[in-house]
Chains A and B, each alone.
Chain A
Amino acid sequence: QKEVEQDPGPLSVPEGAIVSLNCTYSNSAFQYFMWYRQYSRKGPELLMYTYSSGNKEDGRFTAQVDKSSKYISLFIRDSQPSDSATYLCAMSATVVDSNYQLIWGAGTKLIIKP
């Protein structure tokens, strides 16, 4: 079983819809949770990150962490065709003597239809 599970999609929705992207994980030591966005033929770029549980909002994007369920979500409101990309979740623990690696999900390909 992978440490981080993410549905690869593709997820296709009409413009203006609310999008929900999700990851589940197995390691209860994870404390930091990140979402990266990757456009076609480009490298990933950080979209948002959250610490521990709770929500974080940035414009049309909301990141949510439920540590009790080991589940994180990224919501996109009023989705636009320019949001079409692959969204990768990544997470890490904060143990001082860890090797500070990020653990990545496989990425979900999102398609917003005009």
Chain B
Amino acid sequence: DVKVTQSSRYLVKRTGEKVFLECVQDMDHENMFWYRQDPGLGLRLIYFSYDVKMKEKGDIPEGYSVSREKKERFSLILESASTNQTSMYLCASSPLVAGGPAEETQYFGPGTRLLVL
């Protein structure tokens, strides 16, 4: 079974703090993703990565950065947390398949619920 783990299930941080969210997958997948999920808005892609040290901006990268130093690990960094970054953060991974995204099933972690006060 594919397993995607996220470092924390719940986090409470103060405005202005630097926040690290970590994600680890154990299936040697090339692709990794960070989403945030908000009621009524669905999943919005923050950043994704096709390979080690590679990163691409998603739809809402502002206020976030990422790091992928090892294939199995993808970190999301909130440089200076703000209250509008209170959300559920989901990490996902998928294999690289020639057919593209439809063939590349995304496997999700359980999510980190972040509250910024």
Contact = CB atoms under 8 A, between A and B. Distances in A.
A8 B41 CA distance: 9
Contact of B58 (A6, A101, A106): A101
Contact of B102 (A88, A92, A104): A92
Contacts of B92: 43
A46 B106 contact: yes
A31 B101 CA distance: 11
* Chain A interface extent, by class: 20 to 34
A43 B4 contact: yes
Given A99-B56, A101-B58, A46 B43 contact: no
A32 B109 contact: no
Interface residues of B, number: 25
Contacts, number: 59
Contacts of A99: 56
Interface string A1-42: 000101010000000000000000000000110100000011
A104 B40 CA distance: 11
B56 A92 contact: no
Most chain A C-beta atoms within 10 Å of own C-beta, residue among B101, B105, B106, B108: B101
B42 A42 contact: no
| The 8 A-B residue pairs with the shortest CB-CB distance in the complex, in nearest-first order | A43-B108, A32-B102, A106-B42, A104-B43, A92-B101, A104-B42, A100-B101, A46-B105
